[in-house]
Amino acid sequence: MDFIRDYADWFYLIGAVLFILTLRGLSGPKTAIAGNRYGMIAMAIAVLTTFFVAENPVVWMIIGAMVLGAIVGIARARTVPMTQMPETVALMHSLVGLAAVLIAVAAIIHNNKLAELDVGLLQANGVNFHEMSKVHLFELFVGCFVGAITFTASVFAYGKLAAKKWAKTISGVWVKPVQALIFIAMLGFGVHFFLTGNMTSFWAMTGLALAFGWVWIAPVGGGDMPVVVSLLNSFSGWAAAGIGFTLENNMLIVAGSLVGSSGAILSYIMCKAMNRSIINVLFGGAMGGAAPVVAVGDKAPRNHRSGSADDAGFLMSNADSVVIVPGYGMAQGRAQNAVKELANILKEQGVTVRFAIHPVAGRMPGHMNVLLAEADVPYEDILEMDEINSDFPATDVVLVIGANDVVNPAAKDDPSSPIYGMPILEAHKARTIMVIKRSMATGYAGLDNDLFYNDKTMMIFGDAKKVVEDMTKAINGNGH
């Protein structure tokens, strides 16, 4: 124990380096497994070092909490279906925010209680008490309100992604004034607490921050939820960094800062892929929020061409090149393994098969990449939007599986569309387009898709997994 205490900073430095290597590993699918391992080792070093350097730890309580958390975490990791991964990630972010709030509250109450006692008595019992500095109060102020906002915003994001009835989108002219009023009041009470240490102001700031987190995210539309999840990931990192300052733990400061900055960068990348600013996403009420949602039934009937899995199998087996565009429908139907088998069958018949991934496909960053990796789809077959868009005009067949808004030509052709200007996968330029959907219903952003009515498009209705399996059977039957 003394050895670990004496060299704690060195252990923390090793952990910090491993966390940096973790992010580097997670930047590519081929190195992601190694990156995860680095992260696990770094976290183990951080936890063990902190455990041994803590002053007078309540061992049974710490170990009990760790065991309970491990049991819940392992059980959730083993049972969560891939369709529920986005809301699970949002829920995990909420716990980081809640931890930041609780630690800030505990630190302030603990300090206030010590301040009420005799300093000489404290020193006689080996307790070194120093009145909180302005810097420490500022750290608690920032850590607490960022954590509180992260907590309630993430809880709402969880409810929204899980389609809970209580997570209802709010809209109206009153929303922005209320947001501004709550935010200004929160900052006002926070500044008063910072200047005076007044606990009433602290509780008021915390309560308003919790309310602001909810009201802030509630107007955001469903189509923007991937960006929100990414941004809340960033917030949870900054909240963790705030905890690190409160606990004077350098490792936690470094780890939180890495998560916060990487989440912010990812949010920027995703907003760029949508041709939106982060301010527009969070306060513009765009897409699924304030934008008018036009249901299919509210518009004049439009003709679409439908076909069968057998038709699709025949067309793909006679093509030279096929591009598969996965979307949330593939996740919902748990069709990734069936899609991998379809791709293998086509390759055996000499067809070039690749996968096209849009940065905001699915309900969370990297959702489709995770699904395809789970099915062991070769990394070299998976291309990002910028890599494959120029190839669509020379592609014989594009198979869209449950994707909607990320292939909607209105983003390029219709200035009145809420998604106008958003970069899309240009599937409409292929020679033949096939779309697997359960129905003609709108996508997550609530917008009708012009691609479905294209003369080159064939709609195939049904569960994604069942339709893809039927396509594979048809190709086997049409074998050269």
Amino acid identity of residue 240, one-letter, is: A
For residue 364, count other CB atoms closer than 10 A to its CB. 25
The DSSP call for residue 431 is S
Angle at the Cα of 244 (from 243 to 249), degrees rounded to 5? 145
Amino acid identity of residue 304, one-letter, is: H
190 with 212: CB under 8 angstroms?
no
Contacts of 123 (CB under 8 A, 6+ apart): 129
Give the sheet arrangement for strand 382-384, strand by strand.
382-384, 352-357, 321-326, 397-401, 432-437, 457-461
Among 23, 24, 22, 4, smallest CA distance to 12 is for 4
Handedness of CA 182, 184, 187, 193 (dihedral sign): negative
d(CA 450, CA 428): 9
d(CA 367, CA 88): 12
The two tokens of residue 30 are 């081929």
Place of tokens 């294209």: 454
For residue 305, count other CB atoms closer than 10 A to its CB. 12
410 with 291: CB under 8 angstroms?
no
Q: Where in the sequence numbering do the catalytic residues fall?
A: 405
Among 462, 458, 442, smallest CA distance to 296 is for 442
User: What b-and-e string marks burial along 27-60, b requiring 16 or more CB atoms within 10 Å of the CB?
Assistant: eebeebeebeebbebbbebbeebbeebeeeeeee
Contacts of 445 (CB under 8 A, 6+ apart): 221, 222, 223, 287, 288, 404, 405, 418, 419
User: What b-and-e string marks burial along 63-83, b requiring 16 or more CB atoms within 10 Å of the CB?
Assistant: eeeeeeeeeeeeeeeeeeebb
